Every structure is written in C-alpha cells, then in structure tokens.
Amino acid sequence: MGNGVREGQVDFKRQDVEPITPTHLPSEGNQEKKKVLNSLMSGALAGAVAKTAVAPLDRTKIMFQVSSKRFSAKEAYRLIYRTYLNEGFWSLWRGNSATMVRVIPYAAIQFCAHEEYKQLLGSYYGFQGKALTPFPRFIAGSLAGTTAAMLTYPLDMVRARMAVTPKEMYSNIVHVFIRISREEGLKTLYRGFTPTILGVIPYAGLSFFTYETLKKLHADHSGKLQPSPPERLLFGACAGLIGQSASYPLDVVRRRMQTAGVMGHTYSSILLTMQEIIREEGLIRGLYKGLSMNWVKGPIAVGISFTTFDLTQILLRKLQHSTNVER
C-alpha cells in the first residue's frame, strides 16, 4: 500500500500541468478605455451625420431666430430659395464647417459622458447593469448635455455668427475668433452661455430620458433586446420633438445674445432679452419663432443622431469581439 501511494505521488508530479494564463483576455482598465473610445467615436459620427443632414434647415431657423421677421413655412421656403439663387446651392451649408468643428467634439463628449454618468448613477442607486429609473435617467442626460456645452461653447458662438453673416464678413472659423476677440473682447465668446446651460438641462435631459424610456418600453413589451433601425429613428424623433419643444424659448434667447454684435442689438441679460423680444414681436411669435421648422428639423436630427450612435456602437463591439476571437 505504501508503494502504491508513493508511485501515485511520483506519477502526479510527472504530469505536465501548465497554468492557464489569460494572455488575450483584456484587462478591466483596457476594456474601460475601449468603451470610452467607442463612445467618443460613435458620438462624433452621430453628431456629424445628423447635423449635416439638416444644415440648410438649421441655418434658415437661426436666421429667423435672430431677426424680427415673422416666421412662416412660406417665408422659410422663400429664404432658402433666395439663398440658393443668390449664393448657390452649397451656400445652404454655410457655417456647416464651423458646425462640424463644434458638433463633433460636442456630440462625442455628450454621448460618452452620458454612458459614464449612467454607469456612475447606476452604481450610486444600485442599478448596476440594469436600466436606470426615470429620475436618474433624466439626470444622466442633463449632466451629459451640460458637460458637452460647457466644454464647446465658444465654437457654438462662432457657428451662430457664421450662419447669420455674409461670407465677406468672416472668411473662416479662425477669422471669426480673431475678429470677435479684437473688436468685441474675449468675453463675447461666452455671450449667451447662461441661457445655453439653462436650455440644455431640459433639452438633453428629456431627449436622453425619452429615448432610453422608449427603448426600455419596447424591450419590455416586444421581448426583443434591441429595437430595429427604423424603430430607433422613431424613438429618437420623439425624443427630439419633446426635448426641443421644452427648451425652445431659451434657444431663441441664446441666439439673440450670440449675434447681438452683428445684428445691431444689445442684450445684457436673459430676462431683458426676453422682455425685448416679447415687447417687439409678442410671446408666441417671438420666443417660439421657427418652432414649427424645429418640429421638422429636430426629430430628424435627433433620430439620426441616436440611431447612428447605437448602430456604430454595436458595429464597433462586433469588430472588437471578432478581433479577440481571431487572436
């Protein structure tokens, strides 16, 4: 018996037992970096595609917002057609280069921040790995929008100036920065910042809240984990409609304050700007000017944006997974 035991021990020692080493298993830190990078790339693409698609409508809306002209669908069409005849087809996208310079970092930061805030709030409220409840869902969207707006605001100011001025006034984005800094002071680059932040809180909060809520309701009722691309577009359109309608008056105030230097007005505060708009143009016609165009433009842009982000995220995850499997 003793020999048997000893032989068993010897045999065991002779076995070639190799430790399993997770050579190709990405570390937690690398996974987090990849997740952040994916969110940034997906967000940047989503913002660029969405804004380019609606650029002519966006420019037309801004031109009405900063003027005292009465808005109507017929007038908007006339303005677009007149711009096309006088300045050419591509002039309808004037200011879009400035929009891209602003919207690519803005959308990248906003979507990435939203993913991070969802994770943080999920940990805080005990919903890690699950869908957030309504209030944290709204807070995550608001914080994401606020973070992006704070970091990219001067670019939004420059884009608004380029949209409402003739091309002879500002030749490019750098020229706008130089002229504003020299003629109006660096502080001007942050004119309209307060109404922007006040407007982005309900806008981003309600947009992300609506989109995430509709996706959750869809999953609960259909049994499918992911909605189809057309369903994503529809959910995004609803999100854009609700978010932009809630924050629209502050958007008008923001544009007036941003373009005051070139439009011959002086607006010192949000309340005084609102009072002047209401006094000169009326409450609905002034503070909600161009809203009907936004009901066309906004849902399209937000729908494209959310859908592009989600589909790009899915594609990048699949590519990374296939790369890891091949290794």
Q: How confident is the model at residue 128 (pLDDT cuts 50, 70, 90)?
A: low
What residue ranges define each of the domains in the chain, with the CATH number in brackets? 81-190 (1.50.40.10), 191-289 (no CATH)
The residue written with tokens 């939004």 in the block is 156
Per residue in 286-312, pLDDT (tens digit) is 898 878 878 888 899 999 999 999 999
Contacts of 159 (CB under 8 A, 6+ apart): 95, 98, 99, 101, 102
Q: How far apart, in Å, are the Cα atoms of 153 and each of 24, 64, 90?
A: 42, 21, 26
Poorest-pLDDT segment among 58-62, 101-105, 165-169: 165-169
Q: How far apart, in Å, are the Cα atoms of 112 and each of 44, 72, 108, 119, 135?
A: 10, 37, 6, 11, 19
Tell me the whole-structure pTM to 2 decimals: 0.76
Q: What is the spatial distance between Cα 158 and Cα 144, in angstroms, rounded to a whole number?
A: 22
Model confidence at 11: pLDDT above 60: no
Instruction: Please state, for a pLDDT cut of 70, what percent of the chain lies above it.
Output: 88
Residue 40 has a pLDDT of 95
SS3 187: helix
Mean pLDDT of the chain: 83
Q: What is the spatial distance between Cα 228 and Cα 310, in angstroms, rounded to a whole number?
A: 11
- From the list 304, 235, 254, the residue with the least C-alpha distance to 55 is 304
Model confidence at 255: pLDDT above 90: no
